[in-house]
């Protein structure tokens, strides 16, 4: 959910309640910014009475915590975002408080209620409903897939409507975005002159694309999982699709959501009309990508609508004139130029990824996959030769009235793109990030990967004297042992962690090494493992082997935390006993990675570095038990 949508929800509360909610939210964010390695400020308990009555109970309070970067567990909320995001959200909350103090809040509420924060029954202004006449379908009557491509190709003509572009331009804070882009570009140029970074060949247009993406997600468009009940303002659940002609006035798809509290139904229209979407400014990826593509065209950029056929996701591509290539832009995620994220991070089995603009239709599947052979096996809708022939036919028909120079330019650009698509790129650890837009249940229902589900290692009904949990990054797996007998094996490093922020598993193909480290661009990376005895045993002592490597000024801070116990492990120490945990039933191991120098400083603090073919376990937790 965007800040614009959250802001509208917060503003609907009583002024005195909102003041107190803002005070608590600012305190939470300040504590994390000042001490990001402190687990106590990173985890909020749902049972906390103050949070329950002064934040959770207010409209927008819980959503604001999620926007700050907290993820929901059964009993807690865990901060998993980065500090830059949190600082931006804090600035937004500060600005909201200023608006309340200045009396701007009441004026804004009256003016914008029917746009950003409106319910599903948003009033549509008749003067903004303008039917755009599209060409008829002329080809491919016998093949439904090719006919669908032709229809989508015609739909792309809507982005060229001059009145629409003019409306869109008035909504974009161009001056603000240009100032921000110029400032960020100057910083990059300064770093380049200092030889801290290579020449990135980035233009002001490239920086503007990034600014537009951030503004679009944070301030302009709102994400909708379920609508607010139009009768009692309660939470709803998706129920069914409407067949009522009254609901289908402006669209042929209207979701009906049932209220959990009062049981009544509320509609959520899934609009396709760009004129209407410029008013409602809400929806899911389809609505987001349509309007973002329109805004890019309004900015004067070459942009096209991208659809992953059969995988239910769409986004935008924008042509970078300085880099002479198409850039992947996903407005729902505020990410740019990470095309492998869907395959590597979301578990999408891509088959056809198609690009639609007013001038061309292009098969760009190969940009979005690092496994071309696997993709080819899934492409069964039409013979490849027929697909190519169909796209050429549509393209030639659309371009027949263009000037000779324009045709030649488009042909050269297409040839360069086809050469680029021939190269199979492999995903890195940074491509394996999960989707951030949408509720957890919705993402999981789509089988899209999430970063991790917090896990507590429960030690129950163990007659033996000790248990061991160990992890190998080379095998990327955990083992659970009782007296050296393996009882359980779990794959993937995220499957055994309790908390993580800005950490990923890095494989160095050239050096053939593997380890955990913080993500590029993050000042710190934090990871925790939690262990809990649930039987009549207590801890006698804990033996810990925790290998890590640091380079340049990189630093790893290791802490052991239990009830009333906080142990900072001496720097450089990787193998030790922890007798202080004697008598405890629960403890957490937390590692914070920071420091380093230069462009690769994120690699200068590494956990569990080992050769890819190594069978050792550089992370071993041996818990010795005794009767309580």
Out of 247, 273, 330, 431, the active site residue is 330
- Residue 543 tokens, joined: 């033996």
Q: Rounded CA gap, 115 and 125, in Å?
A: 11
Q: Rounded CA gap, 102 and 599, in Å?
A: 43
Q: Which of 341, 310, 328 is nearest to 436 (CA)?
A: 341
Q: Assign 3-class secondary structure to 153-167.
A: HHHHHHHHCHHHHHH
What is the enclosing helix (H) or strand (E) of 257? strand 254-259
* Contact (CB, 8 A) for 470 and 617: yes
Q: Identify whether 372 is a catalytic site residue.
A: no
- Residue 160 tokens, joined: 């060229």
Q: Assign 3-class secondary structure to 498-533.
A: CEEECEEEEEECCCCEEEEEECCCCCCEEEEEEEEE
Burial of residue 237, with CB atoms counted within 10 A of its CB: 0-12 exposed, 13-18 middle, 19 or more buried: exposed
Please calculate the CA angle 393-349-305 and round it to the nearest 5 degrees.
45
Burial of residue 18, with CB atoms counted within 10 A of its CB: 0-12 exposed, 13-18 middle, 19 or more buried: buried
Out of 64, 229, 285, 517, the active site residue is 285
Distances (CA, A) of 28 to 9, 22, 31, 62, 507: 20, 10, 5, 13, 35
Q: Identify whether 35 is a catalytic site residue.
A: no
Q: Which residues of 39-69 are buried (b: 16+ CB within 10 A; e: fewer)?
A: bebbbbeeeeeebeebbbebbbbbbbbbbbb
Out of 313, 363, 547, 624, the active site residue is 313
Helices (H), 370-426: 372-378, 384-399, 404-421
Q: Identify whether 624 is a catalytic site residue.
A: no
Beta partners for residue 625, in sequence order: 539
Question: Which of the residues are catalytic?
Answer: 285, 313, 330
């Amino acid at each position: 959910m965007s800040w614009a949508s959250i802001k509208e929800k917060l503003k609907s509360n009583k002024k005195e309640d909102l003041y107190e909610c803002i005070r608590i939210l600012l305190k939470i964010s300040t504590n994390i910014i000042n001490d990001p390695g402190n687990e106590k400020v990173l985890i909020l308990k749902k049972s906390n009475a103050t949070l329950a009555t002064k934040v959770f109970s207010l409209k927008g309070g819980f959503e604001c915590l999620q926007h700050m970067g907290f993820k929901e567990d059964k009993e807690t909320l865990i901060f998993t975002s980065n500090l830059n995001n949190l600082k931006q959200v804090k600035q937004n909350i500060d600005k909201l408080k200023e608006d309340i103090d200045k009396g701007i809040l009441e004026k804004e509420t009256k003016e914008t209620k029917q746009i950003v924060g409106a319910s599903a029954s948003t009033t549509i202004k008749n003067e903004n409903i303008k039917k755009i006449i599209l060409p008829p379908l002329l080809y491919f009557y016998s093949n439904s897939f090719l006919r669908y491509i032709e229809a989508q190709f015609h739909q792309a003509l809507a982005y060229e409507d001059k009145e629409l572009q003019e409306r869109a331009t008035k909504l974009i804070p161009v001056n603000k975005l240009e100032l921000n882009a110029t400032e960020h570009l100057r910083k990059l140029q300064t770093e380049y002159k200092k030889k801290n970074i290579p020449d990135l060949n980035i233009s002001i247009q490239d920086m503007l694309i990034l600014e537009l993406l951030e503004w679009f997600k944070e301030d302009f468009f709102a994400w909708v999982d379920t609508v607010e009940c139009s009768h009692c303002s309660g939470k709803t659940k998706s129920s069914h699709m409407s067949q009522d002609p009254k609901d289908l006035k402006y669209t042929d798809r209207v979701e009906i959501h049932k209220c959990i509290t009062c049981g009544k139904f509320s509609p959520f229209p899934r609009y396709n009309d760009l004129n209407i979407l410029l008013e409602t400014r809400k929806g899911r990826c389809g609505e987001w990508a349509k309007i973002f593509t329109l805004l890019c065209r309004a900015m004067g950029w070459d942009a096209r609508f991208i659809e992953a056929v059969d995988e239910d996701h769409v986004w935008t591509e924008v042509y970078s004139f300085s880099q002479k290539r198409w850039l992947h832009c996903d407005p729902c995620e505020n990410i740019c130029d990470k095309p492998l994220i869907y395959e590597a991070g979301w578990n999408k089995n891509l088959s056809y990824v198609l690009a639609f603009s007013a001038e061309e239709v292009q098969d760009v599947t190969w940009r979005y996959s690092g496994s071309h052979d696997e993709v080819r096996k899934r492409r069964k809708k039409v013979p490849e030769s027929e697909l190519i022939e169909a796209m050429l036919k549509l393209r030639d028909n659309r371009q027949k009235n263009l000037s000779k120079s324009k045709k030649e330019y488009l042909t050269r650009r297409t040839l360069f793109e086809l050469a680029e698509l021939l190269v199979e790129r492999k995903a890195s650890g940074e491509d394996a990030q999960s989707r951030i837009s949408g509720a957890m249940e919705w993402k999981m229902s789509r089988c899209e990967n999430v970063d991790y589900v917090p896990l507590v290692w429960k030690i129950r009904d163990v007659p033996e004297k000790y248990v061991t949990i160990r992890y190998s990054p080379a095998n990327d797996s955990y083992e659970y042992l009782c007296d050296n007998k393996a009882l359980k094996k779990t794959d993937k490093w995220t499957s055994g962690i309790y908390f993580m922020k800005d950490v990923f598993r890095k494989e160095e193909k050239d050096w053939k090494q593997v380890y955990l480290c913080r993500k590029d661009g993050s000042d710190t990376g934090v990871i925790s493992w939690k262990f809990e005895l649930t039987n009549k045993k207590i801890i006698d002592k804990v033996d810990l082997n925790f290998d890590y490597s640091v380079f340049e000024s990189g630093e790893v801070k290791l802490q052991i935390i239990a009830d009333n116990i906080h142990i900072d492990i001496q720097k450089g120490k990787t193998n030790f006993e922890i007798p202080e945990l004697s008598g405890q039933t629960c403890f957490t191991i937390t590692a914070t990675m920071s420091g380093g120098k230069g462009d690769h400083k994120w690699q200068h603090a590494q956990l569990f570095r080992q050769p890819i073919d190594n069978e050792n376990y550089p992370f071993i937790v041996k818990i010795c038990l005794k009767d309580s």
